[in-house]
Structure 1
């Protein structure tokens, strides 16, 4: 069974050997001599980190067109880095990269066979830019210093976004769309949207912020940064709750519980035997009780949560159910490779299936959207990618846990964020918007950056803080964690 799992998750795949036998291997490094003589390219990795940070700094405040320009810049710089790479081709590749490439290939075929090929090509270009951003981030994030800098930049920007959202709650804000059923008790409730213009989009944007700021409480050194991280967590979490986005709440709660479970697992080796057994039920029980108490004590929260379970009795639920019915009909007609990627292709095809009065810009479910765009083949590849990514995250976390290395907290946050964003994505597709989609690929890149090709030892790149360092292997003179 273990062997089957390793084959499924590509755990034993020699990526470097595969890359050396590919045609791509021959073009990597063709500009190597130019790079050696370039003064600017001495700072290639920090420049790449700056470009990535600019994407997250600008995303909440600018148009999607400008975000697209930044993505093009990131993609172009990755191409330049790859063509002038000093490292041996394939050393930065992982099984996650290969599955991302496979998914892109399926999207290319789906575009070629799409009934609206031109519209699908627009979606393919956007998907390609996101994936090139992913590979650039996965490369840059291998440096703990650059990784921490980009995360810090994102968290500081979320503070500005969240404070603006909280200001809307206290001073009021005009609803830019019909976000609440006019017949419900929440008709007059303010739903904050900050600079993003949509409360559901804001909630999706803040899920990674809430989890990463919680991780920063443990990962950042000294009390002042930890106090800043705690403040960021409170502000981001409060703003997310005040979006009154039910999908966002689901993602927030799922991500929070996942992070709690990983934290308990992390610290369990230092707990007495009793707490090793009972820590999970006690902590999760208390957390669940606090959530139930908050929902019960605050009428707006109670009414909004209750609306999740009333089925078609809520206008938003009814709208989504009708859209899902139409989307399923679309899937039935093109079950294997779908209609091609992107919302433009969806908007061209969906009117042929929609029920009267239920216009939609997307499938309102990530998994249905993938089925529509790339069919069952694309969905299977996406699920394979998720399983492999989570397996990489879990394996690396075990290594960090044994060494008690601070990087483990960022890895736990990335895994919990991925799970939370998927939970949100089950009932919405806001992470197809660039402000959120870039964060999804940042989460994937964080996990990928911790991958190290299968070796008996895993040695982190930063000093280890542990009162019980690993035992020394007297035969080869290095620490082991096997």
Structure 2
């Protein structure tokens, strides 16, 4: 060892290390970090984000908030009326005691649900399972509130924009031009609303939060390993998802348990940042397991050959770095530049086809966007009604779509929501996400809560920013399981902010 320390190689490596650690690169990164912070703090955007808007400030004092609080707490209130005169019988009932126990273990039930959501193959899955599970868990949670008179289902953390978005969903189901077609999509939204309410209200500690995340990480790992197994065993190129005329050297795209490679890629964009965040900022030996999940799921994402998801994932990780360690941002960019020339040909060529006008997966969307835009232009403030089927019927009725490729959906979250719910419905949806991101940034920059919670918040922000980028050219909610995971990540963001403010762990 001493001989090695005296060698020229050791001295050279030491100098390189010192240069990297204390030299120009470190100085450059430090200057960049300070410059970014200064620009951010002096920007108009930071000033807007640092103050609470009028709608958010007045939310808890509004009539709507009080009315919704009464509505959502009506079931526990009614059950308490029954419980008081029948207390002895209630407490001695094994069934009611079992239900009460399940209600006290809602985070555990939710953990198992999200694991099942991620690993059950699509051919065995029914979207009714999600709604049934949420209704069941919501019911037992209401029963668990009976004995504690002070317990309430609170809507403060969810926020005014989420309540407004839920109101738009209900309104445009009622006034839909095709209510029968909208009914199915109302159930999808109801599932997500219940999931958000349950996570935000039932998770009371950092331990419970990490348990839910751990189960979803287990599901992410299993689905990613299965996807990699598909690649190893060989998977046929599906011409529905690949234009082989411009992607001749590209292998089949993996989809794991989800049948659609694009939908699976969106799911990976939403969950993989959590694995990376906890690999760096988690506690104990589990950090290694999180790192394994991150690597495996990132590999699976690569094998989906989803260009939009790749872009969303890279942006998400960059956002995470900017939030948690801005000093590393220049290094992140440099690594990205140096990696490009050494990418496998199939991946590099797939990226380049994003700019190829001959790729039918891109050109086929132009008539879709044109048709949806024409529909929106007819009445931008009032949508046609809830659900992609309603928009499809409206476009057909007005004869707006002219292409040999069947119309499925708008291929853009923003266009789809505007067509369904109108401009104000879109603003309510974006306000929900942006307000969550804003509150998350304020929590992190205000140094509230332990680093682990801050990392979860940053990862959720990164995931949402990444998926919002993907949503420009795709519609992630077309696959209901991805829609549930989208709102699951949003709920994790909200409850993490709540716990960080309480500094509960």
TM-score category (smaller protein):
0.7 to 0.9
Is residue 2:485 matched to residue 1:427?
Answer: no
The residue that corresponds to 2:36 in the other structure is: none
Is residue 2:313 matched to residue 1:257?
Answer: no
The residue that corresponds to 1:66 in the other structure is: 126
| Structure 2: runs of 5+ lacking an equivalent | 1-43
C-alpha contact (below 8 Å) 1:123/1:345 kept by paired residues:
no
> Pick from 120, 128, 133: which aligns with 2:195?
133
Is residue 2:400 matched to residue 1:353?
Answer: yes
Is residue 2:182 matched to residue 1:120?
Answer: yes
Change (3 A) 1:411 1:439: same
Q: For residues 264 and 405 of structure 1, what CA distance do their matches in structure 2 show?
A: 12
Deviations 1:435-478 (A, max 9, x none): 2111110111012113449xxx944112xxxxxxxxxxxxxxxx
C-alpha contact (below 8 Å) 1:78/1:136 kept by paired residues:
yes
How far 1:21 moved relative to its partner? 4.0
The residue that corresponds to 2:57 in the other structure is: 12
The residue that corresponds to 1:324 in the other structure is: 369
Provide the secondary structure at the position in 2 that maps to 1:22: helix
Superposition CA RMSD, Å: 2.8
Which range is displaced more, 320-329 or 53-62?
53-62
Change (3 A) 1:328 1:365: same
Deviations 1:373-408 (A, max 9, x none): 101110111122122111111122234x35543211
C-alpha contact (below 8 Å) 1:94/1:451 kept by paired residues:
no
Is residue 2:306 matched to residue 1:245?
Answer: yes
How far 1:14 moved relative to its partner? 5.9
Deviations 1:193-224 (A, max 9, x none): 122112111111111232111012134322x3
Deviations 1:359-386 (A, max 9, x none): 1211111111101110111011112212
Q: For residues 52 and 324 of structure 2, what CA distance do their matches in structure 1 show?
A: 28
The residue that corresponds to 2:242 in the other structure is: 180
Q: For residues 449 and 272 of structure 2, what CA distance do their matches in structure 1 show?
A: 26
C-alpha contact (below 8 Å) 2:388/2:416 kept by paired residues:
no
C-alpha contact (below 8 Å) 2:413/2:472 kept by paired residues:
yes
Structure with bigger helix share is 2
The residue that corresponds to 2:28 in the other structure is: none
The residue that corresponds to 1:302 in the other structure is: 348
Pairwise mapping of residues 91-106 of structure 1 onto structure 2 (< 5 A)?
92-94=154-156, 96-106=158-168
The residue that corresponds to 2:419 in the other structure is: 372
Q: For residues 240 and 177 of structure 2, what CA distance do their matches in structure 1 show?
A: 33
Q: For residues 65 and 469 of structure 2, what CA distance do their matches in structure 1 show?
A: 38
C-alpha contact (below 8 Å) 2:131/2:187 kept by paired residues:
no
Provide the secondary structure at the position in 2 that maps to 1:313: coil
Q: For residues 420 and 430 of structure 1, what CA distance do their matches in structure 2 show?
A: 12
Q: For residues 87 and 321 of structure 1, what CA distance do their matches in structure 2 show?
A: 57
Q: For residues 110 and 358 of structure 1, what CA distance do their matches in structure 2 show?
A: 28
The residue that corresponds to 2:27 in the other structure is: none
Q: For residues 180 and 356 of structure 1, what CA distance do their matches in structure 2 show?
A: 18
How far 1:304 moved relative to its partner? 0.9
Pairwise mapping of residues 22-33 of structure 1 onto structure 2 (< 5 A)?
22=67, 24-25=69-70, 27=74, 29-30=76-77, 31-32=79-80
Q: For residues 129 and 23 of structure 1, what CA distance do their matches in structure 2 show?
A: 18
Q: For residues 307 and 49 of structure 2, what CA distance do their matches in structure 1 show?
A: 38
Change (3 A) 1:141 1:360: farther
Is residue 2:436 matched to residue 1:393?
Answer: no
